[in-house]
């Protein structure tokens, strides 16, 4: 297949959407597909364009077998509401021509658009139309819902913005997202069941393993072998509610008893919210021996970093619980360590962590601290939950299995779009690829229906 990927973030970004989009593209290219991408220069999570790239000019390069056009964009030093809109709009404007050009003259079989940002969806649809390609929108975050719920945008404009979003969603031949709860949200926005595909994020379970050399990493950063390490690793953004960790540290210090093992908190990451945790450390009087703040670690060190931990921390603001599925969770589970997550009961994060960790209320630092201390005191419980975490990663998040299912669904839907007879389509596609829970009567009446649902 000829696959055009169109989205804001791409490799070599080390966290978030760029990491998954780049890995997916490289995997498809290695499978023999012809893959091209239109994206921005790498800038995330530092919110600064990486050395060797320009925020003013277009650039072509080959990344892991994928031909990439880098389109310039405005990158603010602080991603406030208006600046964030300008940031996204600048990429949509600069990338529209390369995307449409690729659709018109390269003529891909599928145009795969990644949200965020939805600002590129119109150009993605145009590129697919010019090339007669299948149009596929993949939603990693419901960025408009999150922007209103987290108060990045004024509620006064929510009505027309969300109406425009629903209109766009119904124009795509296929819309995918990364969790069942997010697929239900798509159905609620009027996307027909046969158009919805669940395409979760993944983890390389052969690389992220419980037996990685975490001991050497501990020694490298000066943490004693007998300390219990509670780790947060990844992007430090507005959705995370990262200041909950500082409050948790304070609670552990206050509740420790004689004989308790030493507990060290570590945050390794970068992002727009890093100053929040630095301010919280000053406010609570936390030194490096209580809460160690480290930069985002290179990809090569990730297995050892995750294996260094005894407990993983997953703070999240309540408003974001069903709008996003934190991509870092896969690595946490694959490392075979228990997770302490902040989420309200019944949310997708709470459901996923229930069997392999502890769930506490969002923004409740003392509750997170109490959960960490309880796990620190109970080695057997940590081991049992860690085994369950690893099993969940292997059964639900394994990289090759997830991407093979996606490839099968992609081939089936491209074949159906071209009118290829059903019995000549990809034989390995699972019958349950389409989202079953979406109500069929929500389909947009004027949009063309897929000729074949997987």
- For 401-415, the pLDDT digits (tens) are 999 999 999 999 999
What percent of the chain has a predicted confidence (pLDDT) above 90?
Answer: 70
pLDDT of 171 reads 96
pLDDT of 440 reads 37
pLDDT of 421 reads 66
> Out of 144-148, 223-227, 385-389, which region has the weakest mean confidence (pLDDT)?
144-148
Q: What is the mean pLDDT of residues 275-291?
A: 83
- The confidence band for 422, taking pLDDT boundaries of 50, 70 and 90, is low
CATH for 2-202+399-442 is: 3.40.50.2000
3-state secondary structure of 291: strand
Residue 249 makes CB contacts below 8 A (sequence gap 6+) with 265, 284, 286, 290, 291, 369
> Out of 87-96, 134-143, 270-279, 298-307, which region has the weakest mean confidence (pLDDT)?
270-279
> Out of 25-29, 165-169, 318-322, which region has the weakest mean confidence (pLDDT)?
318-322
71 phi-psi bin (left φ>0, alpha ψ -120 to 50, beta other): beta
Write out the CATH class of domain 214-397: alpha beta
Q: Are 15 and 44 in contact (CB under 8 A)?
A: yes
**From CA 95, how far away is CA 118, in angstroms rounded?**
13
> Out of 17-26, 232-241, 264-273, which region has the weakest mean confidence (pLDDT)?
232-241
**From CA 291, how far away is CA 289, in angstroms rounded?**
6
- The confidence band for 444, taking pLDDT boundaries of 50, 70 and 90, is very low
First vs last Cα of the chain: how many Å apart? 18
What's the Rg (C-alpha) of the chain?
22
> Out of 69-83, 135-149, 417-431, 437-451, which region has the weakest mean confidence (pLDDT)?
437-451
The values of phi and psi at residue 139, to 5°, are -105, 110
How far CA 144 is from CA of 161, 181, 258, 331, in Å, comes to 8, 17, 49, 27
Q: What is the mean pLDDT of residues 140-165?
A: 86
Residues of the chain with CATH 3.40.50.2000: 2-202+399-442, 214-397
Q: Which of the given ranges, 19-33, 79-93, 249-263, 276-290, has the highest pLDDT on average?
A: 19-33
Peptide linkage before 433 cis (omega within 30 of 0): no
* Closest CA relative to residue 20, chosen from 186, 170, 226, 235: 235
Burial 68-79 (b: 16+ CB within 10 A, else e): bbbbbbebeeeb
pLDDT of 16 reads 87
The values of phi and psi at residue 403, to 5°, are -70, -30
pLDDT of 284 reads 78
Asked whether residue 446 carries a pLDDT value surpassing 60, the answer given is no
């Amino acid at each position: 297949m000829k696959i055009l990927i169109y989205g804001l973030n791409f490799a070599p970004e080390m966290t978030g959407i760029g990491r998954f989009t780049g890995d997916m593209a490289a995997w498809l290219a290695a499978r023999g597909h012809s893959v091209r991408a239109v994206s921005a220069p790498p800038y995330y999570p530092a919110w600064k364009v990486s050395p060797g790239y320009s925020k003013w000019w277009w650039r072509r390069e080959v990344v892991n077998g994928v031909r990439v056009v880098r389109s310039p964009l405005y990158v603010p030093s602080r991603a406030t509401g208006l600046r964030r809109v300008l940031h996204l709009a600048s990429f949509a404007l600069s990338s529209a021509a390369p995307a449409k050009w690729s659709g018109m003259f390269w003529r891909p079989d599928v145009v795969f658009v990644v949200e965020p940002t939805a600002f590129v969806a119109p150009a993605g649809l145009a590129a697919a139309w010019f090339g007669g390609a299948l149009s596929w929108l993949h939603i990693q975050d419901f960025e408009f819902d999150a922007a209103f719920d987290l108060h990045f945008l004024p509620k006064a404009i929510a009505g027309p913005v969300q109406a425009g979003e629903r209109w766009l969603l119904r124009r795509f031949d296929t819309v995918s997202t990364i969790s069942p709860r997010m697929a239900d949200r798509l159905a609620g926005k009027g996307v027909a069941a046969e158009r919805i595909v669940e395409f979760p994020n993944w983890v390389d379970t052969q690389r992220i393993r419980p037996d990685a050399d975490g001991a050497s990493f501990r020694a490298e950063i000066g943490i004693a072998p007998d300390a219990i390490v509670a780790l947060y690793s990844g992007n430090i953004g507005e959705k995370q509610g990262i200041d909950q960790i500082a409050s948790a540290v304070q609670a552990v210090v206050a509740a420790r008893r004689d004989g308790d093992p030493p507990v060290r908190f570590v945050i390794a990451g970068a992002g727009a919210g890093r100053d929040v945790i630095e301010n919280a450390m000053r406010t609570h009087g936390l030194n490096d021996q209580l809460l160690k703040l480290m930069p985002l670690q290179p990809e090569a060190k990730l297995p050892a970093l995750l294996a260094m931990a005894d407990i993983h921390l997953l703070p999240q603001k309540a408003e974001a619980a069903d709008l996003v599925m934190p991509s870092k969770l896969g690595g946490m589970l694959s490392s075979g360590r228990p997770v302490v997550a902040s989420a309200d009961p019944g949310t997708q994060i709470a459901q996923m962590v229930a069997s392999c960790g502890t769930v506490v209320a969002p923004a409740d630092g003392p509750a997170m601290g109490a959960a960490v201390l309880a796990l620190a005191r109970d080695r057997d419980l940590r081991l049992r939950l860690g085994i369950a975490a690893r099993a969940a990663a292997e059964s639900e998040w394994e990289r090759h299995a997830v991407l093979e299912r996606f490839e099968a669904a992609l081939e089936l839907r491209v074949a159906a779009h071209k009118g290829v007879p059903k019995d000549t389509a990809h034989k390995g596609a699972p019958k349950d690829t389409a989202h079953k829970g979406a109500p069929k009567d929500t389909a947009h009446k004027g949009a063309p229906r897929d000729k074949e649902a997987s």
